[in-house]
Structure 1
């Protein structure tokens, strides 16, 4: 991505509402909170590995498989409450950091360039569309791709995209820390800025 947007960072301090998403292999956890307090927490039965095993029989997936993936994700995420106006959306852990690293061509992986970087919905969607068009070998060859994620990254990126659509998030702040870190950072600010 050209221009300053590729290096834009978005601090998470303050008392405003926050939504934190952690896409795992077997499930996806969503936490909503404000002022460091958790208001909603749920583990959804959708993960990058689980959905790939359930719906994808070849990579890239067929249009029918893609539609089935999206339908399953949308039906599951319909249970999620919409955050208050003005919330910030944070994506943590490997799926989200990999999507960003591949989009920006960050290789080798550099936490300083990834952590707190901002990824607009349009960028997430463009990456997901690209993943759905490539073979596993082509995915493994993308700069920034973790080889072990190549066969499941498309499903993971689709979970991220559909979560953003469901919650009304125009962008995601990427964190390579854990899900609790997002809410703790919101409460204690820069004191948590260093370390992992």
Structure 2
């Protein structure tokens, strides 16, 4: 069975086409488009017209690719930006009319469950671990072990939301950083309780910003060919401090930092630093598998 999975993220729309059999998942095609659906008014829960149109154009391109590949099944999932936007349902209807794509708007809990399935498929979960997926609109946390998901929650503390609320200076000031920390303290109380209870030592970052961290720290890596990779925490902390202390112009010149993440990476770094600290984490890894691969795992025929 040939399937297409579309992940309509806050910053980027992703398309994966795969051939599924009971024995394996074979990726036939992958692409993504920087849509920036959360631009401008994500914290006002509204998709502005320019972003709305970029999203529809991206889906039109995906629709043409899907037809070329003669796909049997299309599964499109929308996350934080669309589920929280007052005009999100208008976007879902427009996508059906304009591109012929049916979008399933999933809850934060469903999003976290798919992320767990994707990360688990890599084999990186070797002990009780905390999975972290930093999106533009939301960030998901999943507490798990090799056998099962123990706890999960989605929080509206994505990089785009934090940027809009707290990124007021270039470089970001210590005061703005402290405002973010206070905000995280207020939002993540139950996560801290769970971390204290289970005391995971391994933080697994799901794709996105963590691919940027690993790609810059280990330029010899081919991220398209690996499922997971260990990241040195001391090396990560040096890189994170560099991102946070740098200006937009300085980050633009950094090799390996894609344009879409030039500013978002500052928020991702502050978030990751916070979790490493409050969780007393001793091990850090990248998982290149995320929600998209979790959806594929869910669709795979049983053996």
What range is the shorter-chain TM-score in?
A: 0.7 to 0.9
Structure 2, unmatched stretches of 5+, are 1-121, 298-303
How many Å separate the matches in 2 of 1:162 and 1:155? 11
Name whichever of 72-81 and 155-164 sits farther off: 72-81
Q: CA RMSD in A?
A: 2.7
Counterpart in 2 of 1:38?
149
Q: 1:95 aligns with which of 203, 209, 212?
A: 209
Distance 1:66 1:90, change over 3 A: same
In 1, Cα distance between equivalents of 2:176 and 2:125: 40
DSSP 3-state at the match of 1:97? helix
Name the CA shift for 1:121/1:74 in 2 (closer, same or farther; >3 Å): farther
Match in the other structure for 1:55: 166
Question: Stretches of 4+ moved more than 6 A in 1?
Answer: none
The residue aligned with 1:132 is 244
Q: 1:115 to 1:144 in 2, by over 3 A?
A: farther
TM-score, structure 1 normalization: 0.75
> Does the alignment pair 1:169 with 2:169?
no
Q: CA deviation at 1:64?
A: 0.8
In structure 2, how many angstroms separate the alpha carbons of the residues matched to 1:123 and 1:167? Answer: 18
* Residues paired across the two proteins, number: 171
Which stretch shows the higher mean deviation, 136-145 or 172-181? 172-181
Larger Rg computed on CA atoms: 2
Matches within 5 A, 1:45-84: 45-80=156-191, 81-82=194-195, 84=198
Given that residues 120 and 170 in structure 1 are in contact (C-alpha distance below 8 angstroms), is that contact kept between their aligned partners in structure 2? no
Segments of structure 1 that go 5 or more residues without pairing to the other structure are 1-9, 186-196
Where does residue 7 of structure 1 map in the other structure? Answer: none
Please state if 1:158 is matched with 2:270.
Answer: yes
Matched, 1:23 2:134: yes
Note the C-alpha offset of 1:113: 7.6
CA distance in 1, matches of 2:154, 2:199: 23
Higher strand share: 2
* 1:120 corresponding residue in structure 2: 232
Higher RCO (CA-CA < 8 Å; seq separation 6+): 1
Which SS does the other structure have where 1:145 is aligned? coil
3-state SS of 2:198 partner = coil
Question: 1:151 and 1:13, CA in 2 relative to 1: closer, same or farther beyond 3 A?
Answer: closer
* Deviation (angstroms), 1:45: 1.9
TM-score (norm 2): 0.50
- The offset of 1:78, in angstroms, is 2.8
Per-residue displacement from partner, 1:107-154 (whole Å, max 9, x unpaired)? 8x7216864222233333222211122121211211111111101111
Equivalent in the alignment of 1:192: none
